[in-house]
Structure 1
Amino acid sequence: MSYQEKIRIDAPTERVWAVLVDVERWPEMTASMSRVQRLDEGGFGTGSTVRIEQPRLLPLIWRVAAFEEGRAFTWTARSAGVTVVAGHYVSPSDDGSATNVTLTIRQSGFLAPLVRLLTSKLTRRYLRMESTGLKRVSESGTGCRAEPDTRR
């Protein structure tokens, strides 16, 4: 199953991209992330690994599989019987006044149907929280600060 969240952000693409790839600060941007830890040194790009802890989900290790500077990255995580591929895409709006962002999640593997059954609503909510957090931080230009998640 695949999930997709699209949002228009009234900020330059460069700013949105900078916020998006500053992955260790994501918990400041969204309550859907408890902790994000880079597991390697150097610039963020293809091959980078990150450990992400999220409320109500098991921690996962994500590895960047594809990276196009300023435009997109995808990363993959594997857990018993499930592979998850998450995409992060930014592009300038047609008139250049804003940035279009698309976030995607695709689950596969023999346990994916069960995982979907158990987490579909949560996955959709987290994608929405992440996109709106990215919008808020990118448009403010003042750095990250998470909004509390009051819907537990």
Structure 2
Amino acid sequence: MYRENSTVISAPPSVVWRLTTDVERWPSFMPTVQQLTRLEAGELRVGSTARVKQPGQTAAVWTVTRLTPTTEFTWETRRMGLRMIGRHLLAPEGDGTRNTVSIEVTGRGAGLFSAFFGGLIARVIQQENAAFARASTQTTPTP
């Protein structure tokens, strides 16, 4: 299963990137994240982990698998025998940023998971992208 949502945010990539990688701040502006705890100190990097609690779910540990400064942040978790990959892609577009949020679910039960939860997942990533857009326009750019 693969779901993606893309939008243009009226903020420079540096602002959107700062919000994207400041994952501990997500619960303050994102309704789809109730609690998020980094499991290591320091900057987000490949191998960093965080415990994420979302509404209606038990907490899951997500591990950063790819981090390309200002353009890509990817992390993944395993739940119920499924591998879930969350990706955030940023690209300059005009005076703003094209922000693409996606989730990919693979594994033996991915088809069944998609049948039951595909629509919900699509709504969740749309809500997350809208939350990034709102928070980005309320943040002051850094030079």
Give yes or no for TM over 0.5: yes
Q: With the length of structure 2 as denominator, give the TM-score of the two structures.
A: 0.93
Distance 1:36 1:137 in 2: 17
1:98 aligns with 2:96: yes
| 1:21-59 Cα shifts (integer Å, max 9, x gaps) | 110111111111111110111110111001111112232
Distance 1:137 1:55 in 2: 20
% identical aligned pairs:
30
- Matching residue's letter, 1:106: E
| 1:100-145 Cα shifts (integer Å, max 9, x gaps) | 1101100001122222222212211110111000000101227xxx
**In the TM superposition, what are the counterparts of 1:1-152 in structure 2 within 5 Å?**
1-93=1-93, 95=94, 97-141=95-139
Match of 1:148 in 2: none
> Can you give the 5+ residue segments of structure 1 that lack an aligned partner in the other structure?
143-152
Q: CA RMSD in A?
A: 1.2
SS at match of 1:44: coil
SS at match of 2:132: helix
Query: Residue 72 of structure 1: CA displacement?
Result: 0.6
Distance 1:117 1:60 in 2: 22
Query: Residue 8 of structure 1: CA displacement?
Result: 0.4
Query: Residue 74 of structure 1: CA displacement?
Result: 0.7
- Point out 4+ residue stretches in structure 1 off by more than 6 angstroms: none
Distance 1:38 1:87 in 2: 18
How many residue pairs get aligned? The number is: 140
| 1:70-112 Cα shifts (integer Å, max 9, x gaps) | 111111100131000111011111x3x1111101100001122
